Amino acid sequence: MEELVAVLALTKVAGIPYSKKREIIEGAESVASLFDRPRKIHDRSLKERIASFDAFGSIDAELKNLGKLKADAVTLKDRAYPGQLRQIPEPPLVLYTRGRVPLSNECLAIVGSRKATFEGMHLAERIGETLSSLGITVVSGFARGIDSSAHKGALKGRGKTIAVFGCGLDICYPAENNHLYERIGNDGLMLTEYPPGTKPFPQHFPARNRIIAGLSRGVLVIEATSKSGSLITARLALEYGREVMAAPGRIFDEEYRGANSLIKQGARLIENMEDIITTCFPGLQLKKSEALALEKDEEYIYSLIGFNKMHVDELAEKGSLSVKDVLALLTRLEMKDLVRALPGGFYLRKV
């Protein structure tokens, strides 16, 4: 029996606790030998359960489906299994993957609200793009809003992105992300602990969050309500000894309440890309093009905008400048690709 088939079979044997399965996979020289010669197993209960397993047909079908998807199965026994993820208390025994991004890449997770604002999605996309341009792989959960925006931005850089699913690799959930699904399958990496055909049941997503946190050096939360699933990812990251960061937002806005609460509890407040890099990748240097020199008045107006859109009149009032002077400074910042003009006289800071 092939070793991969044996490991997949072991994960499906009923009545054996996770801890025992992990012990066997990591400790046995050959899991296949247990199925080939179960009579040599000393543990009577284990022997009976392995000897009675008869669902190899489902494993053959699973492997055929993986072949059709051009996907792979990586087990906890394999050297290719990501080291960061292996360190968490209950790493998946098997990972199903499709794509080109190596599991050994340095990763950072970006998560947040499914009902994100334009500003939040724009921020996630810009941070994802910048991190990826530096060779960092952006990990997220493929959900609407912040997750999808982070993936889109990261696909523009060389670090690319990993999308962690709460279903099988053959299911695009949410369905509206079909175009993004194809792009990640071609240029990024799809990853799940669920075999092909597994539907996106609600209970899968909290479990998926441990993979997002486990793969990454740190987790950045952008726009999360007080009940957001992103807070689960942040809590798990803390338990795993990872860095937790949050982008601040308006204090009376429910969409920012979860992220602001994280900062209140000790998460790193992120104001710029340098904060993310120094927190999680201290040996990495931003390219000069990512840290343009600003004149004093440009830097002042840029600092006033922050992460939330602001009207030119408000900037003029806060900066004690005329609207004409502020517009001139904003034009210069636009030319340096640091701010973006929005309808109605509003401006949004880029990363």
pLDDT for the residue 292: 54
Is residue 294 within 8 A of residue 272, CB to CB? The reply is no
pLDDT for the residue 166: 97
pLDDT of residue 308 exceeding 80: no
pLDDT of residue 50 exceeding 80: yes
pLDDT for the residue 351: 64
- Ranking 151-160, 214-223, 248-257 by mean pLDDT, the lowest is 248-257
Distances (CA, A) of 216 to 110, 137, 204, 209, 254: 10, 9, 19, 11, 27
Q: Which of 42 and 90 is assigned the larger pLDDT?
A: 90
CATH number of 292-349: 1.10.10.10
Is residue 66 within 8 A of residue 96, CB to CB? The reply is yes
Average pLDDT over residues 319-344: 87
The percent of residues above 70 in pLDDT, for the chain, comes to 97
| Per-residue pLDDT tens over the stretch 220-250 | 999 988 888 899 999 999 999 999 999 988 7
Distances (CA, A) of 256 to 123, 160, 179, 242, 262: 14, 27, 28, 22, 10
Is residue 164 within 8 A of residue 141, CB to CB? The reply is yes
- How do beta strands 161-164 and 189-192 pair? parallel
pLDDT of residue 290 exceeding 70: no
- How do beta strands 107-112 and 346-349 pair? unpaired
Place of tokens 């993979």: 211
- Reference 189, options 162, 216, 155; nearest CA is 162
Phi, psi of 336 (to 5 degrees): -90, 5
Residue 196's pLDDT band, with cuts at 50, 70 and 90, is very high
pLDDT for the residue 1: 81
Give CA torsion, residues 156, 162, 166, 171, to 10 deg.
Answer: 60
Across the chain, mean pLDDT equals 92
Instruction: Give dist(CA 328, CA 2) in Å, integer.
Output: 68
pLDDT of residue 289 exceeding 80: no
Show Cβ contacts of residue 239 under 8 Å, excluding neighbours closer than 6 positions: 89
Instruction: Give dist(CA 118, CA 255) in Å, integer.
Output: 12
| Per-residue pLDDT tens over the stretch 101-125 | 999 999 999 999 999 988 889 899 9
CATH architecture group of domain 107-287: 3-Layer(aba) Sandwich (3.40)
pLDDT of residue 198 exceeding 80: yes
Is residue 94 within 8 A of residue 9, CB to CB? The reply is no
Instruction: Give dist(CA 255, CA 224) in Å, integer.
Output: 6
pLDDT for the residue 287: 65
Instruction: Give dist(CA 244, CA 280) in Å, integer.
Output: 9
Q: Which of 68-82, 113-127, 222-236, 304-318 has the highest mean pLDDT?
A: 68-82
Instruction: Give dist(CA 37, CA 50) in Å, integer.
Output: 10
Q: What is the DSSP letter of 165?
A: P
Q: How many CA atoms within 13 Å lie on the side-chain side of 208?
A: 27
Instruction: Give dist(CA 152, CA 123) in Å, integer.
Output: 12
Q: Which of 58 and 303 is assigned the larger pLDDT?
A: 58
Q: Where are the domains of the chain?
A: 1-54, 107-287, 292-349
pLDDT of residue 286 exceeding 80: no
Show Cβ contacts of residue 113 under 8 Å, excluding neighbours closer than 6 positions: 120, 145, 146, 222, 223, 224, 225, 228, 230, 255
The pTM for the full model equals: 0.86
